[in-house]
Structure 1
Amino acid sequence: MSEPEARRGAVSAARQTLFLMFCIGNERYALQATDVVEVLPRLPLKPIARTPSWVAGVFAWRGVVVPVIDLCALTFGQSAEARTSTRLVLVQYRPGAQQTGQVLGLILEQATDTLRCDPADFKPYGLDNRQAPYLGPVREDAQGMMQWVRVNDLLDESVRALLFPSPPLSPDDFEERA
């Protein structure tokens, strides 16, 4: 291999990013692995009353109560199937370029594989889908199209305020209401 070819290969490898792949129905999606905090098996959740149907509930993780959304229900209105490959994926949620994020749980089907590729391989798909701003560009390969899900765009402001109130509620807030 010549020196210029070796440099091109090194630059190409440097651009490679790891993605966690999953499915919604028969469609393939990916999350950037740097957004992922931990991948867990699907766990029992405490439902939250009067939330959108795609808010699956909350659970305690390392002393923190984590809200969980069902990405299948958010995207297409049907709950994720209970499969052995359905995972509870914890992600770092940082809306609007916040430096510190909060942990958000995502129920994802078939979240068992990863892909390393150049993020530039994902291309805009030509639609302005304002109802689903988290659905990013697409990448085509031998298995078909895969769409990038942008974690920081998952929640609109009203749901973000419900799941992550600012400032966070304290027990004193509930005593004042009584």
Structure 2
Amino acid sequence: MKFRAATALVPAILLAGCGLNSVPTAEEEAKAKWADVQTNYQRRADLIPNLVATVKGAAGSEGKILNDVVSARARATQVQVTGDDLTDSAKMSAFNQAQNGLTLSLQRMQEAYPQLQSQGNFTTLMSQLEGTENRIAISIRDYNGAVQAYNTRIRTFPDAVGAKIFYGAKPMTPFQAQAGADKAPTVDFGNTN
């Protein structure tokens, strides 16, 4: 009876030691890590255009308000009243109107100041870009580690036996950067010459 149990146990141990479970586990781990790489690339593809549009919108709004102030200032400085003009009601009215225009523009700028955060938006954009690139780098590193573990497992004894016989396992390809990937992508806000 003990002999039968021992003979039945030997093939089970041999099968367990030949990668029957560890090879598909390692393969699934590598596939999951690749999905993380794809997720982070998709995050970048989705995130960057939205961030750029947000920054452009904020900068455009801020630019309009600042342009209004600059224009009102220019109009206000064009109307000159000398001591001899103090009795001319038309010149005094023009001067007053120009100064009131500048005052209104400055008040609009003060009211809008909490929303004038393009500098903060640019900082957020840069932070998000850096975070996204870091996530991609980490997920690629994790994927390459999982591929290395899988490739090592299917090439080393005893797992190599089960990998070939049961699964027909082939080595996976690690992620490799394309030529030119060492150069940072260009972000264009549409204001370059």
Normalised TM-score (structure 2): 0.21
Determine which structure has more spread, i.e. the larger CA radius of gyration.
2
The structure where strand makes up a greater share of residues is 1
The structure where helix makes up a greater share of residues is 2
Normalised TM-score (structure 1): 0.22
